Amino acid sequence: MTDLHALETELLAAVTNASDEPALEAVRVAALGRNGSISTLLKTLGTMSPEARKEQGAVINGLKDRVTAAIAERKEALKQSALDQRLNTETLDVSLAVPEPPTEVGRIHPISQVVDELTAIFADMGFAVAEGPDIESDDYNFTKLNFPEGHPAREMQDTFFFQPKPDGSQLLLRTHTSPVQIRTMLAHKPPIRVIIPGRTYRSDSDQTHTPMFHQVEGLVIDTSSHLGHLKWILQEFCKAFFEVDQVNMRFRPSFFPFTEPSLEVDIQCRRDKGEVRFGEGDDWMEILGCGMVHPNVLRNCGLDPDEYQGFAWGLGIDRIAMLKYGMPDLRPFFEADVRWLSHYGFRPLDFPTLAGGLSG
């Protein structure tokens, strides 16, 4: 009997002295766990005579109940004091400014904005969007576009080539979005009416050139589309994109292997203290190349040039973004400086639409 008193005193003291929940748990396991002191005592009941079991059973179970209750009480007290301690140490300065949500702080890059703007304009004219890979074959980037092997026109574009493959062929980073014309014509029968925005690469870097830049290609193939249609489309595009009522455009003869005839297009503008205004002034700024798709290109894509014809154009997205939004240098476009982006970027939920305004 004395044993049990001593054990109870010892266990209750251990409960009281447990300074945190893990310590208390250790005391519980030592008393009530499978091999705990009280559990071991309970196991002895089975070996006793019925009378002794009745008497001892009541005593040991009483001990068990009191220790269990003491542990529960101590656990509650420890929880409470841990909470009090947190409440006393954690403070919240309610005078601090509320942090802005990501939709307020985040900005859409001007290139993404301009791609959305021009997609909205051309979608309204019935164009679909086509895309192709940045890594291209020499065949799609040059040969099928009617660049003859070894022709100097291939050197017009400072191409990034990959290491030659064992069979001698060489992949490259596409130098223009024009290979997607080939992909589109090989995959779809005319009528074709697509725009092709995307990244392009050339080994070039200065204030208006970066090794990676963006173009949007246009391609229309059917049985009757001609340069008159192309001229109207480009004129409507420029008015909608630059958000002006009037643009004067100048079409100059040019050369591209994949078009015949080929033209370059300038728009009239006034350059004033670094600012550019459209539809007035007596400067001209080149913005794109275009032309009627060369019969060889049609043939290379399995189309009969006696049946099908059409036009294409290629426009520098970065350049028209700089012009529209007054950004003097192209290089910061790709430096990922959040200060530049928060200055020139666009609010994420202001989607450009023709009805609602392109640039908000």
Interacting residue ranges for ligand DAH, rule: CB under 6 A? 176, 178, 217, 256, 259, 289-291, 312-314
Task: Return the number of the residue (157 or 268) whose C-beta is nearest ligand DAH.
Answer: 157
The CA distance from 274 to 164, in Å, is: 45
Task: Return the number of the residue (195 or 247) whose C-beta is nearest ligand DAH.
Answer: 195
Query: Considering the complex, what minimum distance in angstroms separates the CB of residue 258 from ligand DAH?
Result: 6
Query: Considering the complex, what minimum distance in angstroms separates the CB of residue 152 from ligand DAH?
Result: 14
Place of tokens 């980037």: 141
Task: Return the number of the residue (74 or 319) whose C-beta is nearest ligand DAH.
Answer: 319
Query: Considering the complex, what minimum distance in angstroms separates the CB of residue 262 from ligand DAH?
Result: 6
Task: Return the number of the residue (201 or 256) whose C-beta is nearest ligand DAH.
Answer: 256
Q: Left, alpha or beta for 279 (phi > 0: left; psi -120 to 50: alpha)?
A: left
Task: Return the number of the residue (197 or 291) whose C-beta is nearest ligand DAH.
Answer: 291
Closest residue by Cα to residue 215 from 157, 169, 151, 155: 157
Query: Considering the complex, what minimum distance in angstroms separates the CB of residue 126 from ligand DAH?
Result: 18
Query: Considering the complex, what minimum distance in angstroms separates the CB of residue 155 from ligand DAH?
Result: 13
Query: Considering the complex, what minimum distance in angstroms separates the CB of residue 275 from ligand DAH?
Result: 27
Closest residue by Cα to residue 78 from 24, 31, 30: 24
Task: Return the number of the residue (113 or 200) whose C-beta is nearest ligand DAH.
Answer: 200
Query: Considering the complex, what minimum distance in angstroms separates the CB of residue 217 from ligand DAH?
Result: 5
Spell out the residues 6+ positions from residue 11 whose beta carbon is closer than 8 angstroms to its own.
27, 31, 37, 38, 67, 70
Task: Return the number of the residue (140 or 313) whose C-beta is nearest ligand DAH.
Answer: 313
Task: Return the number of the residue (71 or 290) whose C-beta is nearest ligand DAH.
Answer: 290
**Helix axes of 37-44 and 50-89: crossing angle, nearest 10 degrees:** 160
Cβ-proximal residue to ligand DAH, closest one: 314
Query: Considering the complex, what minimum distance in angstroms separates the CB of residue 117 from ligand DAH?
Result: 20
Query: Considering the complex, what minimum distance in angstroms separates the CB of residue 336 from ligand DAH?
Result: 25
Task: Return the number of the residue (200 or 268) whose C-beta is nearest ligand DAH.
Answer: 200
